[in-house]
Amino acid sequence: MAPIFSSFLALTLIIPLSNAQGPPSPGFSLSSRVSTVAFNTGFRNLWGPQHQKLDQGSLTIWLDKSSGSGFKSLRPYQSGYFGAAMKLQPGYTAGVITSFYLSNNEEHPGDHDEIDIEFLGTTPDKPYTLQTNVYIRGSGDRNMIGREMKFHLWFDPTKDYHNYAILWNPSEIIFFVDDVPIRRYPRKSDATFPTRPMWVYGSIWDASSWATENGRYKADYNHQPFVGQYTNFKVSGCTANSPASCRPPSASPSGSSSLSRQQALAMNWVQNNYLVYDYCHDPKRDHTQIPEC
Residue 61 lies in a domain: yes
- Least confident range of 135-139, 154-158, 159-163, 205-209: 135-139
**Residue range(s) defining the domain that contains residue 52:** 36-246+258-289
Residue 264 belongs to what H/E stretch? helix 261-274
User: Is the pLDDT score of 133 beyond 90?
Assistant: yes
Catalytic residue among 106, 107, 118, 292: 118
Residue 25 lies in a domain: no
Residue 266 lies in a domain: yes
Q: What tens digit of pLDDT does each residue of 43-64 get? A: 999 999 999 999 999 999 999 9
What is the rounded distance in angstroms from the CA atom of residue 211 to the CA atom of residue 219?
9
pLDDT at position 21: 77
Residue 263 lies in a domain: yes
Q: What tens digit of pLDDT does each residue of 1-60 get? A: 444 333 333 334 444 443 457 899 999 999 999 999 999 999 999 999 999 999 999 999
Residue 103 lies in a domain: yes
Query: Higher-confidence residue: 237 or 9?
Result: 237
Mean of the per-residue pLDDT values of the chain: 91
**Number of domains composing the chain:** 1
SS3 assignment, position 49:
helix
Residue 11 lies in a domain: no
The question of whether 292 is a catalytic residue gets the answer: no
pLDDT at position 258: 85
User: Is the pLDDT score of 223 beyond 60?
Assistant: yes
Residue 235 lies in a domain: yes
Q: What is the DSSP letter of 132?
A: E
**pTM given for the model:** 0.92
pLDDT at position 11: 39
Catalytic residue among 106, 107, 114, 148: 114
pLDDT above 70 as % of the chain: 91
pLDDT at position 142: 62
What is the rounded distance in angstroms from the CA atom of residue 217 to the CA atom of residue 211?
8
The question of whether 114 is a catalytic residue gets the answer: yes
103: CATH: 2.60.120.200
Q: Is 202 exposed, middle or buried (0-12, 13-18, 19+ CB in 10 A)?
A: buried
